[in-house]
C-alpha cells in the first residue's frame, strides 16, 4: 500500500513572527531610515533587547576590535543605544548623519561608537588596576569613608550623563538604574544635588529669564524644554526616593540590666511643692521609661522628655540621657499652671500627646539636667 504523503501546513508571515516582532516589526535593515527616524530606531532595540543582550552585543564587538579590557565592560552600565548602533553597522544600515559628524552618514556613527568604546575601555582599565593592586592599596594610606563614597558616586555620573545626552531617544529610569547597580544610600546621596545647576539653567531658559541661556537652549522647542526639565527633575526625585527607601535601619538599643535605684542615686530633684500640692514620684521609674514629665516650680515650666528609642530613658549623675532632642521640650505655663499639671497627672497617652500643643507659649530646648527645683510628675 502506497504511503500517504504528509501535507505540509504553510504558516503565514504573521504566524512566523514573534509577538514582539508583530508589535515592533522586524530588526531594522539597510534602508530603514528611508521611512523612519532615530527615535523609532533606538526604540526598537530598547524594547527588544534586555540588559543581558545589550552587554553581549557590546562586549563581543569590543573584543572583535581589540579593546583589551572588553571582558570588564559587564561591570559597568552599558547603554542600549550603543548596542543598537553596533547592530545597525553590522547589518549595513544606512544611518542618517550624526549631529557631531555632519555629512558622514554611517561612518560618523562608527566614529561616535569607538569614542564611547574607548571611554569604556579606560573605565574598565581602572577596574583591572584595582584588581591587580589590591594588596598594594591595602598597604597604602586608605581613603576616608567619605572619599570612598564620593569616588563611587562620581563613577555613576558618567552613565547618568550619557542618559541625559540621549534623553529624547532612550528611556532612562534613575531609580531602576541605582537599584541594578546595587548602590548604597550613602553613595546615591552623594550625587543627589549633582544636576541642580542644570535644572536651574533649563528652567530659566524655558521661562525666558536669561537671554544667554535662552539662546543656548534655542534648539529645543518650549514643549521639549518642559520635557527635558521634567526629565532632570525625575532624576533628582528618583535619587532622593532611592536614598529614603534604602537608608540602613538602626537596630534598637538593647536595654542593659541596670540597677535603677543606683542609677538615680545622685539625681537632684524636688520631693514636694506645697504651693502646687504636688509630690515627686519614685525617681527610679525614670530608668527605661518612654516618656518623662517634670515641673520646674521656680521657672513655672512644664518639661517633657521622650526617649530616643525603645531602650527608654537613662539617668547618669544629675542628668537624663538617651532622650530625643527633636521632640523633647519645655514650655512656660503662665496662669494655667494648675490646669496643665492636672492634665499631665490624670491624662492618658492621648491627652499627654496633645498637652504641649495646648500650651500657647514658645517651646524651649532641654539639656537633660535635673535640679532641686524640679518635681518628677509622671513617667509613661
In a domain, 135, yes or no: yes
In a domain, 32, yes or no: yes
Question: Tell me, what DSSP letter sits at residue 278?
Answer: E
pTM (global) more than 0.75: no
364: domain range? 260-379
DSSP 3-state assignment of 240?
helix
Pick the last residue of a domain from 245, 274, 295.
Answer: 245
Exposed, middle or buried: residue 102 (CB in 10 Å: 0-12, 13-18, 19+)?
exposed
In a domain, 8, yes or no: no
Q: 223 with 306, same domain?
A: no
Q: 303 with 191, same domain?
A: no
Total tally of structural domains belonging to the chain:
2
In a domain, 252, yes or no: no
Long-range CB pairs of 170-177, under 8 A, 24+ apart, other chains included:
170/42, 170/46, 170/79, 170/80, 170/81, 171/46, 172/231, 172/235, 173/238, 174/234, 174/235, 174/238, 174/239, 174/242, 175/238, 175/239, 175/241, 175/242, 177/77
Q: Per-residue DSSP letters for 81-132?
A: HHHHHHHHHHTT--PPPBTTBTT-THHHHHHHHHHHHHHHHHHHHHHHHHHH
Q: Per-residue DSSP letters for 171-193?
A: ---HHHHHHHTT--HHHHHHTTT
Q: 166 with 296, same domain?
A: no
Record the cell numbers describing residue 206, joined without a space: 524655558
In angstroms, how far is CA 257 from the centroid of its own chain?
Answer: 38
Q: 156 with 295, same domain?
A: no
Q: 148 with 64, same domain?
A: yes
- φ/ψ of 79, rounded to 5, equals -65, 145
Exposed, middle or buried: residue 128 (CB in 10 Å: 0-12, 13-18, 19+)?
middle
> What are the beta bridge partners of residue 137?
none
Q: 362 with 215, same domain?
A: no
Secondary structure element (H or E) that encloses residue 379, with its range: strand 374-379
Q: Per-residue DSSP letters for 289-346?
A: -SEEEEEETTTTEEEEEEBSSTT--EEETTEEESB-TTT-EEEE-GGGHHHHHHHHHH
Q: 199 with 333, same domain?
A: no
Closest alpha carbon to 231 in 270, 257, 203, 189: 203
Record the cell numbers describing residue 233, joined without a space: 527633575
Q: What angle do CA 125, 79, 150 make, to 5 degrees?
A: 55
> What are the beta bridge partners of residue 321?
314
Residue listed under C-alpha cell 579606560: 122
Q: 159 with 285, same domain?
A: no
Residues with Cβ < 8 Å from 20, sequence gap 6 or more?
47, 48
* Rounded-to-integer distance, Cα 371 and Cα 237, Å: 48
In a domain, 6, yes or no: no
Q: 162 with 304, same domain?
A: no
Q: Check if the beta carbon of residue 242 is closer than 8 Å to that of residue 185.
A: yes
Pick the last residue of a domain from 194, 217, 245.
Answer: 245
Q: Are strands 291-296 and 301-306 parallel, antiparallel or unpaired?
A: antiparallel
* Rounded-to-integer distance, Cα 228 and Cα 321, Å: 50
Record the cell numbers describing residue 196, joined without a space: 541642580
In a domain, 183, yes or no: yes
Q: 188 with 89, same domain?
A: yes
Write the pLDDT tens digit of every residue in 40-75. 888 888 778 888 888 899 999 999 999 988 888 888
Write the pLDDT tens digit of every residue in 355-368. 888 888 898 899 99
Record the cell numbers describing residue 344, joined without a space: 499631665
Q: 344 with 288, same domain?
A: yes
* pLDDT tens over the chain, length 380 residues: 444 444 444 444 444 456 666 667 788 888 888 888 888 888 888 778 888 888 899 999 999 999 988 888 888 878 888 988 999 999 999 998 888 888 898 899 999 999 989 988 888 887 766 655 554 544 455 667 787 777 787 778 778 888 887 888 888 888 888 888 888 888 888 888 888 888 888 888 888 877 777 777 778 888 888 898 899 998 998 888 888 778 776 666 555 556 888 888 888 999 888 777 778 889 989 988 899 999 998 999 999 999 998 888 899 998 999 999 999 999 998 888 888 888 888 888 888 888 888 888 898 899 999 999 999 999 88
In a domain, 255, yes or no: no
In a domain, 305, yes or no: yes
Residue listed under C-alpha cell 490624670: 346
Four-point Cα dihedral 179, 181, 184, 190, nearest 10: -100
- φ/ψ of 314, rounded to 5, equals -130, 160
Pick the last residue of a domain from 185, 215, 245.
Answer: 245
In angstroms, how far is CA 70 from the centroid of its own chain?
Answer: 30
Q: 232 with 308, same domain?
A: no
Amino acid at each position: 500500500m502506497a504511503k500517504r504523503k504528509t501535507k505540509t501546513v504553510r504558516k503565514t508571515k504573521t504566524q512566523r513572527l514573534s509577538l514582539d516582532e508583530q508589535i515592533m516589526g522586524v530588526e531594522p535593515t539597510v534602508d530603514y531610515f528611508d521611512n523612519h527616524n532615530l527615535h523609532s530606531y533606538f526604540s526598537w532595540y530598547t524594547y527588544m533587547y534586555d540588559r543581558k543582550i545589550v552587554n553581549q552585543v557590546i562586549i563581543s564587538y569590543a573584543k572583535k576590535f581589540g579593546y583589551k579590557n572588553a571582558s570588564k565592560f559587564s561591570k559597568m552600565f552599558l547603554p542600549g543605544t550603543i548596542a543598537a548602533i553596533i547592530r545597525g553597522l553590522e547589518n549595513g544600515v544606512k544611518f542618517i548623519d550624526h549631529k557631531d559628524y555632519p555629512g558622514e552618514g554611517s561612518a560618523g556613527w562608527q566614529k561616535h561608537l569607538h569614542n564611547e568604546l574607548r571611554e569604556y575601555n579606560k573605565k574598565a582599565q581602572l577596574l583591572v588596576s584595582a584588581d591587580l593592586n589590591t594588596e598594594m592599596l591595602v598597604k597604602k594610606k586608605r581613603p576616608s569613608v567619605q572619599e570612598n563614597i564620593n569616588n563611587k558616586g562620581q563613577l555613576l555620573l558618567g552613565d547618568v550623563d550619557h542618559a541625559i545626552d540621549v534623553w529624547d531617544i532612550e528611556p532612562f529610569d534613575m531609580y531602576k538604574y541605582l537599584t541594578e547597580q546595587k548602590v548604597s544610600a550613602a553613595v546615591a546621596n552623594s550625587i543627589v544635588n549633582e544636576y541642580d545647576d542644570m535644572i536651574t539653567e533649563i528652567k530659566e531658559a524655558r521661562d525666558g529669564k536669561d537671554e544667554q541661556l535662552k539662546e543656548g537652549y534655542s534648539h529645543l522647542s518650549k514643549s521639549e524644554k518642559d520635557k527635558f526639565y521634567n526629565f532632570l527633575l525625575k532624576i533628582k526625585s528618583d535619587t532622593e526616593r532611592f536614598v529614603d527607601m534604602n537608608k540602613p535601619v538602626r537596630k534598637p538599643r538593647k536595654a542593659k540590666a541596670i540597677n535603677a535605684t543606683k542609677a538615680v542615686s545622685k539625681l537632684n530633684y524636688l520631693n514636694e511643692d506645697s504651693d502646687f500640692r504636688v509630690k515627686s514620684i519614685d525617681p527610679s521609674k525614670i530608668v527605661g521609661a518612654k516618656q518623662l514629665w517634670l515641673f520646674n516650680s521656680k521657672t513655672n515650666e512644664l518639661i517633657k522628655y521622650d526617649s530616643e528609642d525603645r531602650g527608654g530613658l537613662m539617668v547618669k549623675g544629675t542628668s537624663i540621657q538617651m532622650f530625643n532632642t527633636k521632640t523633647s521640650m519645655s514650655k512656660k505655663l503662665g496662669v494655667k499652671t494648675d490646669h496643665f499639671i492636672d492634665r499631665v497627672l490624670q491624662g492618658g497617652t492621648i491627652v499627654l500627646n496633645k498637652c504641649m500643643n495646648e500650651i500657647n507659649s514658645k517651646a524651649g530646648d532641654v539639656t537633660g539636667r535635673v535640679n532641686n527645683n524640679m518635681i518628677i510628675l509622671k513617667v509613661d
